[in-house]
Amino acid sequence: MYFKISIRKNPDSGNHEGYYRLVESYRRSDGKVMHRTVLNVGYLDGVPVEKLNQIQKIVTEKVNHCNDSLFKEVLIEDEVVNHYVSLLYNRMLAEKRIDVASENKISKNTNNGKDLHLIDVNSIKNKDVREIGAEWLSFQALGQLQIESFLVNQHWSQDDIQLALTHIISRAVYPASELATSRWIVENSAVCELTNYPIEKITKDKLYAIAKKLYTVKEALEQHLSTRTNELFDIQDKIILYDLTNTYFEGRKDKSNLAKYGRSKEKRSDAKLVVLALVINVEGFIKYSAIFEGNMSDSKTIPEIITDLRKRTSSFSHKALVVLDAGIATDENLKLIQAEGYDYLCVSRSKLKIYTLKEDSKSIEVRDNKNHKIELTKVETDKNTDFYLKVESENKQLKERSMNRNFKSHFEEGLQRIQDSLSKKSGIKQEEKVYERIGRLKEKYPSISRHFDIRVEITDEKKHTSKTKKEESKEVIRRVVTNLEWVVKKEEEINAESGIYFLRTSLKENSENTLWLFYNTIREIEATFRVLKTDLDLRPIYHKNDESTMAHLHLGLLAYWVVNTVRYQLKNKQINSNWTEIVRTMNTQKAVTTVAENDKEEMILIRQCSEPTPKVTQIYDALKYKSQPFKRKKFVVHKNEFQKNEIIGNQYLASG
């Protein structure tokens, strides 16, 4: 049950105030959800929203267990809440709005607490079977994040809060378009039974609208979630990771200011892009997010991010370490990071040519997560006072040598095609055209082309222009290429730097092992992007306007908060399944309505959840979550009445 409000003129005060009714939902045989008013409550404008929420929840529990002799009512210390709970429940009893069985009637149907009926087995049917396991998992994670309380403090209406929770859960469990999501909610999922949002109100337009409304509180909500997860899991944000990714659009996006052509990480050079920048901590929780135009270069994004970062990190971290990729780590950006009071750790944008070993420096051998050997050595350079760590990886060396062989082979094949064209009758021979082809080839293979010496032989060629009626033919001289030769400067130089790169940091007092562990945390942000793009289906984007695009990306990030809240706790319990696998496992738990006929020609309707499988139980136990979203709901109605309206009992089964 829930409160429904309408604005009426209060005859006592003469003012227009909210008139409250207690309403519950039920589902008809055709699947349509209906509502009925249980009680006209009256004017309650003096009662705060949070207390109204408590009142409706406690009243619903009392009504659902009114015939349960073992039910123990939870008493709330708040006098206002207790007053209205008692008042409304007693009014429902007095006005016969609920059916409370007498003690004699209960004793006839029970035997040592057992509810016994003679059932016609052939009449048993299961109806309205819906997925609920992953939804219930996500709902409890949202409870940990206290998003509902945040939206209440933002003065959102109860309907909007319930719809927002419904959409966030749906995005996490079933990432799809708003149209597909609305169908999934109506036909497949029990998410509305958890959030209490009326399922018949679900439309794609309402999902679009609530996503846009959630985006209007993006900064405040992001700050709330950042602070909440720090408090919840005792996180101090001593290390912060920054990186960017992009996602592409389907469609022309002609009128968009956000969608631009740029360098796509998915190799979609044909599609316009948008850039998503994320700052996360090593636990994978987002500290800050920003959305940039698709042609924004990586290095130009850091000023906007770093200036707002201080207020989004824990107050315990006086000087956090910012770990970032080489593409962002320009000298100007590193100076800006230090000016804001942070240290930094990154891959050096250029390999050091001149350096010396630090005093008493010895190479240290470590192993990566695949047990590959890596050597770490402290080095110094006269370029600046930063600390450098030389990293030599055998596995990276093998990989880069293989890549160099392929690049060298492809580069020489390209040169050979240019050479072959010189001897063909219709081949490209003009000097400027040949140089243009060579330039494009060098641009395609920049790392290998610098190791080649290319010589071009050019000669002057006389050619007569075509004769026309007005002009006589003329003799012109053009420069053509007659031969192309190339040679590798030094074969050994191609692989001289393979497998070697340098870490650069402003930290001075840490060991090689510590810095290596710090840098390896960058894998966490790569995992974040993988979850967003793969598990939460953040790409491609189909929205036509920029407002919808921003709302779409923000909703994906909110769903990621749910995902990471669950996975972070599971990883601490050595359960490392990806989110897609967790959803598949949880979806084995269903909500189902069972209908049967007893010996008194009465129809018994029971709404309950299936028992969790061992794997599902393991996940619930690891998270310390409840395994059942609601207790069994039962309703008995005479067969004749049931046949008139098959799901009359669902007004009780689906309410509250």
Residue with tokens 């191609």: 494
pLDDT of 496: 79
Give the mean pLDDT of 345-355: 83
Question: In 3-state terms, what secondary structure has residue 456?
Answer: strand
Lowest mean pLDDT among 93-107, 207-221, 388-402, 468-482: 93-107
Closest CA to 491 of 453, 456, 455: 453
Give the mean pLDDT of 85-98: 81
pLDDT of 74: 61
pLDDT of 309: 67
As a whole number of angstroms, the distance between CA 154 and CA 149 comes to: 9
Question: In 3-state terms, what secondary structure has residue 469?
Answer: coil
Give the mean pLDDT of 415-423: 92
Q: What share of the chain is helix, strand, coil (3-state, %, to 5)?
A: 40, 25, 35
pLDDT of 469: 57
pLDDT of 468: 61
CB 273 within 8 A of CB 259: yes
R_g of the chain, CA atoms, integer Å:
34
Give the mean pLDDT of 205-212: 95
Reply yes or no on whether the pLDDT at 648 is more than 70.
no
* Integer angstrom CA distances of residue 506 from 42, 334, 509: 66, 9, 10
pLDDT of 200: 92
Q: Is the dihedral of CA 492, 493, 498, 503 positive or negative?
A: positive
In terms of DSSP bridges, do strands 500-505 and 633-638 run parallel, antiparallel, or are they unpaired? unpaired
Residue type (1 letter), 66? C
Q: Render pLDDT for 271-286 as a digit per residue (tens, 0 to 9).
A: 888 888 888 888 989 9
Instruction: Return the top range by mean pLDDT from 101-110, 234-243, 589-598, 631-640.
Output: 589-598
Residue 366 burial class via C-beta count within 10 angstroms: exposed 0-12, middle 13-18, buried 19 and up: middle
Q: Which CATH class is domain 219-351+505-542?
A: alpha beta
Q: Render pLDDT for 186-202 as a digit per residue (tens, 0 to 9).
A: 999 999 999 999 999 99
| Domain ranges within the chain, ordered by starting residue | 1-104, 219-351+505-542, 398-494
pLDDT of 643: 60
Reply yes or no on whether the pLDDT at 499 is more than 60.
yes
3-class DSSP string for 257-319 = CCCECCCCCCCCCCCCEEEEEEEEECCCCEEEEEEEECCCCHHHCHHHHHHCCHHHCCCCCCC
- State the pLDDT confidence band at 656, using cuts at 50, 70 and 90: very low
Helix axes 218-233, 133-145, angle to 10 degrees: 90
CB 39 within 8 A of CB 88: yes
pLDDT of 141: 96
| Overall pTM > 0.85 | no
DSSP state of 553: H
Give the mean pLDDT of 177-188: 94
